[in-house]
Amino acid sequence: MKRSQTHAVRRPWYRPSLTTQIMIGLVVGGVIGWLRPDWGNAVYFLRDIFINLIKSIIAPLVFSTIVVGIAGAGALRKVGRMGIKALVYFEIVTTAALFIGLAIVNFTKPGLGVTLAATNTDAIRTIQQSHPKTFVETIVHAFPSSVIDAMVRGDVLQIVAFSVLFALAVSAVGEKGKPIVRAMESLSQIMFKFTNYVMMFAPIGVGAAMAHTIGTQGLGVLVNLGKLILSLYFALIIFVVLIFGLVIFIARVPLRQFARAVREPAVLAFATTSSESALPKAMEAMERLGVPRHIVGFVMPTGYSFNLDGSTLYLALGSVFVAQAAETTMGWHMGFGQQIVMMLTLMLTSKGVAAVPRASLVILLATLNSFVPSGLGPIGVAIIFGVDELMDMGRTCVNVIGNCLATIVVARWEGEFDDRRASSFGTAAELELDLKSGHVAFADAVAQGD
């Protein structure tokens, strides 16, 4: 391989990468929200436009990617095996997240000294209007009565279930299904290209989101309940270093290339507090990194319901925080044994965490109602509600990184991870590979230095 082929694709200083543009947007948005809170509220519609554009990509992208991966690559026999391996990995990692959250919250004790006084009744009422789905309800919910309705609502789990069954049917009809596979191949490339266009608007969208957050809550929100916020981010850092670090070592994940691949999806998720905003870019990045399309298309969307590592850790920390505040308020103490039982409960209820709005708070409230004195659970959740958006940034970012890593783990487990493509990620060599394979959207992304 020639020397020039191994160099990273460089761009002029006056055309910063998308990651740099997003970080600039975050800083500018934060300054605008701080200096002119009214402007922060006025520009929030730009964030909504960006999120809506991203949501319009998800259904056709997930559908076409899964159909091409399963029906086009002859992966019919692999679906069941791949699904079992993914679920085993999801369960192990999310359980580790629960117990790291439990350990950190018992070490930092952010709830001690917090008094649970009735307040923010609107927040309590909003959260109580929804209820978490049981495991059986989540399984039933996964199979849509109307795929059109599922696509309109952007229900990723239902889209995945329908897409897998549709792909199996396309594969089963043989030659007659080839036109569908070719059409889905074209659609997937078009949607990746469409994603590149939408990403041009990302710095404006995330800047508007940050301006709104600072404008409505003020810098004072960083001080209020600061110990709880710092405890969460401390726990997330430990989880990423210990658990993700161990997984990266065991699965022989190329760390530098992986970090480069996930930085844009992670920053998008952090800035918008939306995993959906990062999904198209994350799927594109993992395929470019060497994960086969059928694994990316199946594992990553499924992980959005079953592999929310950051949200799971947050649930453990938030539930014990309220229990500690209840001890301050009325002297009621939750022993370590009760905390373990509560973690076991969260292991089950958190699997449907993405099925309802404000899902983590809904799961948290339902769990607390069973473990803390009557009436204190909703008050504790209402206190957390005030700073939830700041914590949502961190946990959503970790959710996205965890799902990206899961695709590599399953690909390595299946013996299908392409180390050659991974080593060339973001270089001129990758550009040549994409041009040879005819993947124009990926080639454009590499040429732009994204």
Question: 433: pLDDT confidence band, cut at 50, 70 and 90?
Answer: low
* C-alpha 75, offset from chain centre: 26
Q: How far is residue 115's CA from residue 111's CA, in Å, rounded to a whole number?
A: 9
Is residue 274 within 8 Å of 356, Cβ to Cβ? no
Token look-up 């961190």 returns: 394
Q: What is the pLDDT of residue 450?
A: 57
For the chain, first and last CA: distance in Å? 23
Residues 5-61 have pLDDT tens digits of 445 556 666 677 777 888 888 888 888 888 888 887 788 888 888 888 888 888 898
Domain boundaries, the chain: 83-160+222-417
Q: How far is residue 326's CA from residue 340's CA, in Å, rounded to a whole number?
A: 18
Report the topology of domain 83-160+222-417.
Answer: Proton glutamate symport protein (1.10.3860)
DSSP 254-318: -HHHHHHHHHHHHHHHHHHT-HHHHHHHHHHHHHHHT--HHHHHHHHHHHHHH--HHHHHHHHHH
pTM of the full structure: 0.79
Beta-ladder partners of 77 = none
Q: How far is residue 145's CA from residue 61's CA, in Å, rounded to a whole number?
A: 20
122-136, 140-154, 289-303, 412-426: the lowest-pLDDT one: 122-136
Question: 384: pLDDT confidence band, cut at 50, 70 and 90?
Answer: confident
Task: Name the amino acid, one letter, at 385.
Answer: F
Residues 203-241 have pLDDT tens digits of 898 888 878 877 776 665 455 578 888 999 999 999 999
- Collapse the DSSP code of 162 into the 3-class scheme (helix H, G, I; strand E, B; otherwise coil) and give the result: helix
Q: What is the pLDDT of residue 249?
A: 96
Q: If you average pLDDT over each of 32-41, 401-410, 432-441, which comes out highest?
A: 401-410
Question: 398: pLDDT confidence band, cut at 50, 70 and 90?
Answer: very high
Q: Beta-carbon neighbour count of residue 109 at 10 Å?
A: 15
